[in-house]
Amino acid sequence: MASADLNNERAKVILALETEAKEHYEASRDSAAASCYERAAALLERHAESAPSRKIEGVRKSKALRYREHSKALKSGDVPKAEGGGGGVATATKARPRGEKGSKSDKDADEVKSVVTGLLHHSNITWDKIGGLEETKREIKYALAVSLAQMPEGIQLAGWRNILFYGPPGTGKTLLAAATSRALKTSSEEPAVFFNVKVSSVMSKFFGESTKIVSELYGTARDMSPAVVFLDEFEALCGSRNDGDTGTERRILSTILSELDGLSEKGRDDIYVLTIAATNRPWDLDPAVLSRFDKKILIPLPDPVTRRAILEIHLTKKGFELEFDLADVIDMTEGLSGRELESLAKEVTNRMVAEANSELPKLVDQGLDAVRGYQIKVRPLTYEDFERARAQVQPVTSKEDMERYTDWRDAAEA
């Protein structure tokens, strides 16, 4: 209920901002209009995330994008004045020459745009949601800071623009990318954007369009700078080598490489787009691809200190009490990834709650009011709870698998 209210409220505010923007625009108060459009865009992006369907989400996201474009155009004085009022920016910018209306290429371009807006996200992941990995967090923060801070006059430092995370599944690569984009948040009103791209799905679903999607994606990211482009399952890019690669695949690869080289940003030090790529199979990547990354960081299976930090995040920080010392169960969790530790925590807590509240199903028969009036019982978790749950979680990464990553790192560094 509460979230529906929130959505209604937000829809109203967006509507009010749209009206206000139009009024400002018609009265030639361009900068006031720009700021209304910008605020409406930020709200629309959030609104998109709670959309009831993918389709509505897409509509809201592309509207947000359009408002950002309006705002930018207004700020740069790039917008023709409304004639005789009533036009509004929407019509004004649409009226600018952009090829024939309704033509095929126009429609294709719209489609590419809507795919790209579908990849747009905001992240709520903060650094403290990520257990351990302190050195990696520090390195990323340094990379952000050195790229965004003011350089002394005349100094040109090649900052980091591309980072590769590699390592076994479930170790926090996606989390780190999300936290990085969140750290780029410029104000409370305007969350930084995060393009979350699963390379394999862009390649397979939009095969013919993949190159255009990549270019549009980076173009949009530059418009929204500072931004993070997260390329997940990056090895899919090079995976086709074995099947004999085709011209299209090579073109996609070369488009991504030129984006990684930042050719379109040269000389624009006001723009910061950080690309983070992630892979579980670094050995599948071409040397030409690997050489593009300023930094390649192994995200390993968690060590004892990290495992403890992760369990704290998923148990104690979620309010559960323990009858045992976490230190006593850390040995038991060797070889588990972050994701598996999270499953373990879920398993322990869910079992305890299920046991302590076994009368819940019966309550449902008495009606929803009875259920709502009931308070869930909890008790401190025991060592035995933990042991039992541990038996349910099987690690996917073996010691040998992990060695393959460290061997690869050692070879790459040699």
**Among 193, 313, 336, 393, which residue interacts with ligand ADP (rule: CB under 6 A)?**
313
- Residue 262 binds ligand ADP (CB under 6 A): no
* Cβ-based nearer residue to Mg ion, 41 or 310: 310
CB of 208 to Mg ion, least distance (A): 27
* Cβ-based nearer residue to ligand ADP, 72 or 409: 409
CB of 174 to Mg ion, least distance (A): 3
Q: What order of strands is seen across the sheet that includes strand 193-198? A: 120-121, 193-198, 227-232, 273-279, 162-166, 295-298
Cα four-point dihedral sign 74, 75, 78, 81 = positive
CB of 48 to ligand ADP, least distance (A): 21
CA distance 143 to 129: 20
**Among 130, 217, 231, 311, which residue interacts with ligand ADP (rule: CB under 6 A)?**
130
Number of chain residues interacting with ligand ADP (CB under 6 A): 17
End-to-end CA distance of the chain: 58
Other beta carbons within 10 angstroms of residue 4's beta carbon come to: 9
| Residues in region 132-191 near Mg ion by CB under 5 A | 174
CA distance 234 to 256: 11
CB of 173 to Mg ion, least distance (A): 5
Interface region with ligand ADP, contact rule CB under 6 A, candidates 236-244, 338-346, 368-376, 391-399? 338-346
* Cβ-based nearer residue to ligand ADP, 95 or 305: 305
- Residue 131 binds ligand ADP (CB under 6 A): yes
Q: Which residue is nearest to ligand ADP (CB)?
A: 338
Q: In sequence order, what are the residues at sequence separation of 6 or more whose Cβ sits closer than 8 angstroms to the Cβ of residue 76?
A: none
What letter would DSSP give residue 97? -
CB of 402 to Mg ion, least distance (A): 17
- Residue 211 binds Mg ion (CB under 5 A): no
Query: How far is C-alpha 355 from the geometric centre of its chain's CA atoms?
Result: 37
- Residue 175 binds ligand ADP (CB under 6 A): yes
Q: Which residue is nearest to Mg ion (CB)?
A: 174
* Cβ-based nearer residue to Mg ion, 92 or 175: 175
CA distance 215 to 363: 56
Interface region with ligand ADP, contact rule CB under 6 A, candidates 30-38, 45-53, 166-174, 187-195? 166-174
Q: What are the structure tokens assigned to 143, written together?
A: 């990379």
- Residue 393 binds ligand ADP (CB under 6 A): no
- Residue 339 binds ligand ADP (CB under 6 A): yes
The phi and psi torsions of 235 (rounded to 5 degrees) equal -60, -20
Tokens 């749950």 map to which residue? 389
Cβ atoms of 180 and 274 closer than 8 Å: yes
Length of the chain: 414
CA distance 21 to 15: 10
User: Which chain residues interact with Mg ion by CB under 5 A?
Assistant: 174
User: Which chain residues interact with ligand ADP by CB under 6 A?
Assistant: 130-133, 169-175, 278, 310, 313, 338-339, 342
